[in-house]
Amino acid sequence: MGSRRSGVCLRSCLVVFAIGSALFVCGPALYWRFQKGIKFGIGEDNKNSIDVSSSCPPCVCDCPPPLSLINIVPGLANLSVTDCGKNDPDLSKEMEKQFVDLLTEELKLQEAVAEEHTNHMNITNVEARRVASQYQKEAEKCNAATETCEGARERAEALLRKERKITSMWERRARQFGWEGE
């Protein structure tokens, strides 16, 4: 029986809490709403009645009226979707086209761009091949010149060895005949 009593107590506390929260949130607004609309009477006659809403002095506000969108942008009010582009013949011509025509035109444009891109790539490729061929010719010339120089060096070394042999042979003969050298 104790657990049932605590359940009832908890429920009643929750109900009281919910009502209190609702009054706390909505109470001030309701209070001022009724306060503004109800006049409290002191006596039976209206002479002695007190107007609660008139207990405040009137507000003095000399603020300028808020600007409307029409005042900020005067031409904006005259615009409508149906008027859009009527004065532009190119735009009205484009708007009259059918959807399929627009898609066809878009595909043609994309095809033209792709063809232009392909032409540019082909021109670049031809230019790259020409430059590569030119470098290849220069490399072949350089290799031929290197081979020529290498051949000349080898011949010069062979001649130098031959000259040293001849020089050493003459030096030996000269020493045999009494030459004492340097």
**Is residue 34 situated within a structural domain?**
no
**Is residue 175 situated within a structural domain?**
yes
Can you give the residue range of the structural domain that contains 161?
101-182
- Whether 27 has a pLDDT exceeding 50, the answer reads yes
Burial (CB count <10 Å: 0-12, 13-18, 19+), residue 38? exposed
Q: Compute the distance between CA of residue 19 and CA of residue 59 in angstroms, rounded to an integer.
A: 36
User: Which residues, at least 6 apart from 50, have a Cβ–Cβ distance to it below 8 Å?
Assistant: 39, 40, 41, 42
Q: What confidence score (pLDDT) does residue 48 get?
A: 46
Q: What confidence score (pLDDT) does residue 111 get?
A: 95
Percent of the chain at pLDDT exceeding 70: 71
**Is residue 123 situated within a structural domain?**
yes
Distances, alpha carbon 66 to alpha carbons 63, 70, 71, 72, in Å: 9, 11, 10, 11
Q: Which residue has the higher pLDDT, 38 or 124?
A: 124
**Is residue 180 situated within a structural domain?**
yes
C-beta atoms surrounding 139 within 10 Å:
10
The secondary structure of residue 56, as a DSSP letter, is S
Q: Which residue has the higher pLDDT, 61 or 179?
A: 179
Least confident residue range of 84-93, 155-164, 170-179: 84-93
Domain count, the chain: 1
| Collapsed DSSP state (helix, strand, coil) of residue 49 | coil
Identify the helix (H) or strand (E) that includes residue 35: helix 2-37
**Is residue 3 situated within a structural domain?**
no
> pLDDT of 71-118, one tens digit each?
666 665 555 555 565 677 777 777 776 777 888 889 999 999 999 999
Q: Which residue has the higher pLDDT, 41 or 172?
A: 172
**Is residue 31 situated within a structural domain?**
no
**Is residue 92 situated within a structural domain?**
no
**Is residue 172 situated within a structural domain?**
yes
